[in-house]
Amino acid sequence: MDDYFEKFDSANALLSGKKSILIVGHENPDADAVGSALALKLFLEDSGFSPVVFFADQVPKKISFFRGFF
């Protein structure tokens, strides 16, 4: 469990003092990739950051309605 907190502290230190964050998803994004990226985006927005989600390939229309996508 200590390893988990060390990783969290490392991530926190990396983001400290930053405002803009780019979240990049994998090629041919599926619902899991899009949902995960958007959940992280919403969490970061609530934490005071300005995140942007980027996918190199177009997100399938059937999941483009997810909150936070546009």
Number of domains in the chain: 1
Residue 1 pLDDT > 70: no
DSSP state letter for 62: G
So what's the pLDDT on residue 46?
92
- In a domain, residue 1? The reply is no
So what's the pLDDT on residue 10?
85
**Collapsed DSSP state (helix, strand, coil) of residue 69:** coil
pTM of the predicted model over 0.95 = no
Domain that holds residue 36: 18-70
Distance CA(53)–CA(38), nearest Å, equals 7
- In a domain, residue 6? The reply is no
So what's the pLDDT on residue 24?
95
The more confidently predicted of residues 45 and 65 is 45
CA-CA-CA-CA torsion sign (7, 10, 14, 19): positive
Q: Which range among 2-6, 38-42, 51-55 shows the weakest confidence by mean pLDDT?
A: 2-6
- In a domain, residue 33? The reply is yes
